[in-house]
Amino acid sequence: MTTKAILTSLFIISLLSSCKKKTLEQKIESLPPAQTTAIATPSKETIANMENNSFTLSCGAGCAATYTAEEISQDKTSVKVKFKVENYINDKLEETNEETYLFYYSNTGEIDKIINQETNKNILDEYILDAQESFKEFAASLIKNKKVEIPQVNEQGNSANTKYRISALPFDHEDYYSTCYVKFDEKECANRYPKYSYPENKNILEEYGIKDIPTSFFMLPKINNVQPFILAYTDSDIEGYDLIVAAKNKVISSLQIAEFDGETVNDFIITKNFEIELYTRKNTTEKRILKKKYRIQPDGKIK
Protein backbone atom coordinates (compact mmCIF):
# COMPACT_ATOMS: atom_id res chain seq x y z
CA MET A 1 0.00 0.00 0.00
CA THR A 2 1.47 3.44 -0.92
CA THR A 3 1.37 6.60 1.16
CA LYS A 4 -1.06 8.14 -1.28
CA ALA A 5 -3.41 5.18 -0.88
CA ILE A 6 -3.32 5.40 2.90
CA LEU A 7 -4.17 9.09 2.79
CA THR A 8 -7.20 8.37 0.64
CA SER A 9 -10.05 7.71 3.06
CA LEU A 10 -12.24 5.83 0.61
CA PHE A 11 -9.48 3.35 -0.10
CA ILE A 12 -8.85 2.76 3.61
CA ILE A 13 -12.53 2.15 4.28
CA SER A 14 -12.75 -0.26 1.38
CA LEU A 15 -9.64 -2.07 2.51
CA LEU A 16 -10.87 -2.40 6.09
CA SER A 17 -14.17 -3.85 5.00
CA SER A 18 -12.51 -6.46 2.81
CA CYS A 19 -9.64 -7.32 5.13
CA LYS A 20 -10.68 -7.00 8.76
CA LYS A 21 -7.58 -8.75 10.03
CA LYS A 22 -5.17 -6.12 8.71
CA THR A 23 -3.00 -4.96 11.59
CA LEU A 24 -1.94 -1.44 12.43
CA GLU A 25 1.64 -2.40 11.63
CA GLN A 26 0.77 -2.92 7.99
CA LYS A 27 -0.90 0.49 7.85
CA ILE A 28 1.96 2.24 9.60
CA GLU A 29 4.63 0.60 7.44
CA SER A 30 3.00 2.15 4.38
CA LEU A 31 3.39 5.69 5.72
CA PRO A 32 6.53 7.72 4.89
CA PRO A 33 9.62 6.64 6.87
CA ALA A 34 10.64 8.70 9.86
CA GLN A 35 13.42 11.23 9.32
CA THR A 36 16.60 10.30 11.10
CA THR A 37 18.02 13.55 12.47
CA ALA A 38 15.40 -5.77 37.08
CA ILE A 39 16.09 -8.25 39.10
CA ALA A 40 14.58 -11.35 37.47
CA THR A 41 11.01 -12.02 38.51
CA PRO A 42 9.28 -15.38 38.62
CA SER A 43 8.70 -16.75 35.13
CA LYS A 44 5.65 -15.28 33.39
CA GLU A 45 4.53 -13.23 36.38
CA THR A 46 1.21 -11.55 35.53
CA ILE A 47 0.73 -7.92 36.49
CA ALA A 48 -2.71 -7.20 37.97
CA ASN A 49 -2.92 -3.39 37.85
CA MET A 50 -4.10 -2.57 34.34
CA GLU A 51 -5.20 1.05 34.85
CA ASN A 52 -4.07 3.85 32.51
CA ASN A 53 -2.53 1.45 30.02
CA SER A 54 -3.80 2.79 26.71
CA PHE A 55 -2.63 5.12 23.94
CA THR A 56 -3.83 6.14 20.48
CA LEU A 57 -1.91 6.12 17.19
CA SER A 58 -2.73 7.83 13.92
CA CYS A 59 -2.58 5.57 10.86
CA GLY A 60 -3.56 8.06 8.16
CA ALA A 61 -6.23 10.62 7.31
CA GLY A 62 -9.27 9.93 9.46
CA CYS A 63 -7.71 6.69 10.68
CA ALA A 64 -6.74 6.02 14.29
CA ALA A 65 -6.15 3.02 16.53
CA THR A 66 -6.42 2.83 20.29
CA TYR A 67 -4.14 0.31 22.02
CA THR A 68 -5.32 -0.89 25.42
CA ALA A 69 -3.17 -3.31 27.43
CA GLU A 70 -5.27 -6.26 28.56
CA GLU A 71 -2.57 -8.59 29.85
CA ILE A 72 1.00 -7.87 30.97
CA SER A 73 3.47 -10.52 32.07
CA GLN A 74 7.23 -10.79 32.29
CA ASP A 75 10.04 -13.28 32.46
CA LYS A 76 13.79 -12.88 32.96
CA THR A 77 14.46 -11.12 29.66
CA SER A 78 11.31 -9.39 28.43
CA VAL A 79 7.87 -7.99 29.19
CA LYS A 80 4.97 -9.41 27.18
CA VAL A 81 1.96 -7.16 26.56
CA LYS A 82 -1.29 -8.25 24.93
CA PHE A 83 -3.23 -5.28 23.53
CA LYS A 84 -6.83 -4.85 22.46
CA VAL A 85 -6.63 -2.73 19.30
CA GLU A 86 -9.66 -0.68 18.30
CA ASN A 87 -9.46 0.73 14.77
CA TYR A 88 -11.46 3.84 13.91
CA ILE A 89 -12.29 5.52 10.60
CA ASN A 90 -13.63 9.06 10.97
CA ASP A 91 -14.34 8.38 14.67
CA LYS A 92 -16.37 5.27 13.85
CA LEU A 93 -15.20 1.94 15.29
CA GLU A 94 -14.53 -0.36 12.32
CA GLU A 95 -12.82 -3.36 13.89
CA THR A 96 -11.33 -4.71 17.10
CA ASN A 97 -8.47 -7.19 17.21
CA GLU A 98 -5.54 -8.22 19.39
CA GLU A 99 -1.80 -7.67 19.02
CA THR A 100 0.98 -8.91 21.29
CA TYR A 101 4.38 -7.26 21.74
CA LEU A 102 7.57 -8.24 23.57
CA PHE A 103 9.37 -5.33 25.26
CA TYR A 104 13.12 -5.72 25.83
CA TYR A 105 14.83 -3.31 28.24
CA SER A 106 18.47 -2.52 28.94
CA ASN A 107 19.72 -3.06 32.47
CA THR A 108 19.29 0.68 33.06
CA GLY A 109 15.59 0.56 32.17
CA GLU A 110 15.81 2.02 28.65
CA ILE A 111 13.76 0.29 25.97
CA ASP A 112 16.03 -1.59 23.55
CA LYS A 113 13.58 -3.22 21.15
CA ILE A 114 9.87 -3.97 20.83
CA ILE A 115 8.98 -7.09 18.87
CA ASN A 116 5.58 -7.66 17.27
CA GLN A 117 4.98 -11.31 18.14
CA GLU A 118 2.99 -11.99 14.96
CA THR A 119 5.45 -10.50 12.45
CA ASN A 120 8.67 -10.91 14.49
CA LYS A 121 9.63 -7.36 13.50
CA ASN A 122 11.21 -4.76 15.75
CA ILE A 123 8.86 -1.80 15.56
CA LEU A 124 11.72 0.55 16.47
CA ASP A 125 13.10 -0.28 13.02
CA GLU A 126 9.81 -0.49 11.13
CA TYR A 127 7.30 2.06 12.47
CA ILE A 128 7.23 5.80 11.85
CA LEU A 129 8.72 8.00 14.56
CA ASP A 130 5.42 9.09 16.16
CA ALA A 131 4.31 5.48 16.58
CA GLN A 132 7.71 4.51 18.00
CA GLU A 133 7.52 7.31 20.56
CA SER A 134 4.05 6.24 21.71
CA PHE A 135 5.25 2.68 22.31
CA LYS A 136 8.40 3.97 24.06
CA GLU A 137 6.33 6.16 26.37
CA PHE A 138 4.14 3.18 27.21
CA ALA A 139 7.24 1.06 27.90
CA ALA A 140 8.67 3.77 30.16
CA SER A 141 5.38 4.05 32.05
CA LEU A 142 5.50 0.36 32.95
CA ILE A 143 8.80 0.92 34.75
CA LYS A 144 7.90 4.33 36.20
CA ASN A 145 4.60 3.12 37.62
CA LYS A 146 6.30 -0.03 38.94
CA LYS A 147 3.98 -2.34 37.05
CA VAL A 148 7.04 -4.35 36.04
CA GLU A 149 10.64 -4.66 37.20
CA ILE A 150 13.50 -4.22 34.78
CA PRO A 151 14.37 -7.59 33.20
CA GLN A 152 18.09 -8.20 33.58
CA VAL A 153 20.21 -9.23 30.60
CA ASN A 154 23.38 -11.20 31.31
CA GLU A 155 26.49 -9.07 30.99
CA GLN A 156 29.80 -10.71 30.29
CA GLY A 157 33.35 -9.45 30.35
CA ASN A 158 35.45 -7.60 32.89
CA SER A 159 34.31 -5.09 35.47
CA ALA A 160 34.86 -2.19 33.09
CA ASN A 161 31.99 -3.53 30.99
CA THR A 162 29.41 -3.76 33.76
CA LYS A 163 27.22 -0.89 32.60
CA TYR A 164 26.95 -2.29 29.08
CA ARG A 165 25.47 -5.42 27.54
CA ILE A 166 28.36 -7.41 26.13
CA SER A 167 28.35 -10.09 23.44
CA ALA A 168 30.54 -12.94 24.66
CA LEU A 169 33.17 -14.45 22.39
CA PRO A 170 33.35 -16.33 20.14
CA PHE A 171 31.06 -14.25 17.93
CA ASP A 172 30.21 -16.35 14.87
CA HIS A 173 28.06 -14.44 12.39
CA GLU A 174 26.61 -17.64 10.93
CA ASP A 175 25.48 -18.76 14.40
CA TYR A 176 24.17 -15.27 15.18
CA TYR A 177 22.03 -15.22 12.04
CA SER A 178 20.76 -18.75 12.66
CA THR A 179 19.86 -18.04 16.30
CA CYS A 180 18.29 -14.62 15.86
CA TYR A 181 16.69 -14.84 12.41
CA VAL A 182 16.30 -18.45 11.25
CA LYS A 183 15.31 -20.07 14.55
CA PHE A 184 14.22 -16.70 15.97
CA ASP A 185 15.10 -17.82 19.49
CA GLU A 186 14.50 -14.47 21.20
CA LYS A 187 15.83 -15.40 24.63
CA GLU A 188 18.96 -17.07 23.31
CA CYS A 189 19.54 -14.19 20.91
CA ALA A 190 19.18 -11.58 23.67
CA ASN A 191 21.52 -13.49 25.98
CA ARG A 192 24.24 -14.36 23.48
CA TYR A 193 24.04 -11.44 21.06
CA PRO A 194 22.68 -8.38 22.91
CA LYS A 195 22.32 -5.62 20.37
CA TYR A 196 21.99 -1.84 20.54
CA SER A 197 19.76 -0.04 18.06
CA TYR A 198 20.75 3.23 16.39
CA PRO A 199 20.09 6.16 16.79
CA GLU A 200 18.47 5.31 20.14
CA ASN A 201 21.88 4.41 21.60
CA LYS A 202 24.16 6.66 19.56
CA ASN A 203 25.47 8.22 22.79
CA ILE A 204 27.48 5.04 23.40
CA LEU A 205 29.26 5.35 20.06
CA GLU A 206 29.78 9.08 20.55
CA GLU A 207 31.40 8.36 23.92
CA TYR A 208 34.08 6.44 22.02
CA GLY A 209 34.45 8.97 19.22
CA ILE A 210 32.65 6.82 16.63
CA LYS A 211 30.78 8.95 14.08
CA ASP A 212 29.50 6.12 11.90
CA ILE A 213 25.74 5.66 11.47
CA PRO A 214 24.98 1.92 11.61
CA THR A 215 21.59 0.24 11.80
CA SER A 216 22.64 -1.38 15.07
CA PHE A 217 25.79 -2.40 16.91
CA PHE A 218 27.29 -4.91 19.35
CA MET A 219 29.86 -4.45 22.10
CA LEU A 220 32.53 -7.12 22.65
CA PRO A 221 34.59 -7.71 25.82
CA LYS A 222 37.26 -5.09 26.42
CA ILE A 223 40.97 -5.63 25.82
CA ASN A 224 42.82 -3.67 28.47
CA ASN A 225 41.36 -0.18 28.03
CA VAL A 226 40.14 -0.50 24.45
CA GLN A 227 36.59 -1.37 23.41
CA PRO A 228 35.78 -3.42 20.27
CA PHE A 229 32.45 -2.81 18.51
CA ILE A 230 30.70 -4.60 15.66
CA LEU A 231 28.69 -2.14 13.58
CA ALA A 232 25.88 -3.64 11.49
CA TYR A 233 24.56 -2.00 8.33
CA THR A 234 21.45 -3.97 7.45
CA ASP A 235 18.97 -1.43 6.05
CA SER A 236 20.07 -1.55 2.40
CA ASP A 237 20.33 -4.11 -0.40
CA ILE A 238 24.03 -4.64 0.34
CA GLU A 239 24.46 -5.47 4.01
CA GLY A 240 27.76 -5.13 5.82
CA TYR A 241 29.50 -5.36 9.20
CA ASP A 242 32.51 -3.38 10.42
CA LEU A 243 34.75 -4.06 13.40
CA ILE A 244 35.86 -0.88 15.16
CA VAL A 245 38.23 -0.73 18.12
CA ALA A 246 38.17 2.47 20.14
CA ALA A 247 39.25 4.09 23.37
CA LYS A 248 37.45 7.01 24.98
CA ASN A 249 36.83 9.63 22.26
CA LYS A 250 39.27 7.95 19.87
CA VAL A 251 38.95 5.33 17.13
CA ILE A 252 42.10 3.19 17.03
CA SER A 253 41.42 0.82 14.13
CA SER A 254 38.67 -0.54 11.90
CA LEU A 255 38.07 -3.40 9.48
CA GLN A 256 35.20 -4.48 7.26
CA ILE A 257 34.43 -8.04 8.39
CA ALA A 258 31.29 -8.96 6.42
CA GLU A 259 29.41 -8.08 3.25
CA PHE A 260 26.37 -9.60 1.59
CA ASP A 261 25.90 -8.28 -1.94
CA GLY A 262 23.63 -10.98 -3.39
CA GLU A 263 26.49 -12.67 -5.24
CA THR A 264 28.81 -13.74 -2.44
CA VAL A 265 28.56 -14.30 1.31
CA ASN A 266 31.49 -12.84 3.22
CA ASP A 267 31.17 -13.30 6.97
CA PHE A 268 33.32 -13.78 10.07
CA ILE A 269 34.15 -15.40 13.38
CA ILE A 270 35.81 -13.49 16.22
CA THR A 271 37.35 -16.02 18.60
CA LYS A 272 37.87 -15.88 22.37
CA ASN A 273 41.47 -14.83 21.68
CA PHE A 274 40.26 -11.89 19.56
CA GLU A 275 41.35 -13.53 16.34
CA ILE A 276 39.28 -12.37 13.36
CA GLU A 277 38.60 -15.08 10.80
CA LEU A 278 37.12 -13.85 7.52
CA TYR A 279 35.25 -16.35 5.34
CA THR A 280 33.77 -16.35 1.85
CA ARG A 281 31.40 -18.51 -0.22
CA LYS A 282 28.88 -18.07 -3.01
CA ASN A 283 25.81 -18.86 -0.91
CA THR A 284 24.85 -20.14 2.52
CA THR A 285 24.54 -23.74 1.32
CA GLU A 286 28.26 -23.93 0.57
CA LYS A 287 31.01 -24.57 3.08
CA ARG A 288 32.82 -21.46 4.25
CA ILE A 289 36.34 -20.88 2.96
CA LEU A 290 38.79 -19.05 5.22
CA LYS A 291 40.33 -16.20 3.22
CA LYS A 292 42.18 -14.12 5.82
CA LYS A 293 42.96 -13.84 9.54
CA TYR A 294 43.63 -10.85 11.74
CA ARG A 295 43.92 -10.24 15.45
CA ILE A 296 43.05 -7.37 17.76
CA GLN A 297 46.30 -6.42 19.47
CA PRO A 298 46.55 -5.34 23.13
CA ASP A 299 46.94 -1.72 21.97
CA GLY A 300 43.74 -1.94 19.89
CA LYS A 301 45.33 -2.16 16.47
CA ILE A 302 44.08 -4.82 14.05
CA LYS A 303 46.91 -6.78 12.44
Asked whether residue 8 carries a pLDDT value surpassing 70, the answer given is no
Poorest-pLDDT segment among 39-48, 126-135, 147-156:
39-48
pLDDT tens by residue, 239-248: 999 999 999 8
Range of the domain at 21: 3-144
Most confident among 105-109, 253-257, 282-286 (mean pLDDT): 253-257
Q: Residue 98: its pLDDT value, please?
A: 95
pLDDT tens by residue, 106-123: 766 778 889 998 888 888
My answer on whether 202 and 104 are in the same domain is no
pTM above 0.75, yes or no: no
pLDDT tens by residue, 145-164: 766 776 655 544 443 444 68
Q: Residue 219: its pLDDT value, please?
A: 96
My answer on whether 223 and 264 are in the same domain is yes
My answer on whether 89 and 181 are in the same domain is no
Q: What is the 3-state secondary structure (H, E, C) of the chain?
A: CCHHHHCCHHHHHHHHHHCCCCCHHHHHHCCCCCCCCCCCCCCCEEECCCCCCEEEEEEECCEEEEEEEEEEEECCCCEEEEEEEEEEECCEEEEEEEEEEEEEECCCCCEEEEEECCCCEEHHHHCCHHHHHHHHHHHHHHHHCCCCCCCCCCCCCCHHHCCCCCCCCCEEHHHHHHHHHHCCCHHHHHHHCCCEECCCCHHHHHHCCCCCCCCEEEECCCECCEEEEEEEECCCCCEEEEEEEEECCEEEEEEEEEEECCCCEEEEEECCCCEEEEEEECCCCCCCEEEEEEEECCCCCEC
User: Of 121, 144, 167, which residue is a domain's last?
Assistant: 144
My answer on whether 68 and 118 are in the same domain is yes
Q: Mean of the per-residue pLDDT values for the chain?
A: 80
> What total of structural domains would you count in the chain?
2
My answer on whether 237 and 193 are in the same domain is yes
User: Of 144, 172, 198, which residue is a domain's last?
Assistant: 144
My answer on whether 108 and 48 are in the same domain is yes
Q: Residue 88: its pLDDT value, please?
A: 94
26 vs 257 pLDDT, higher one: 257
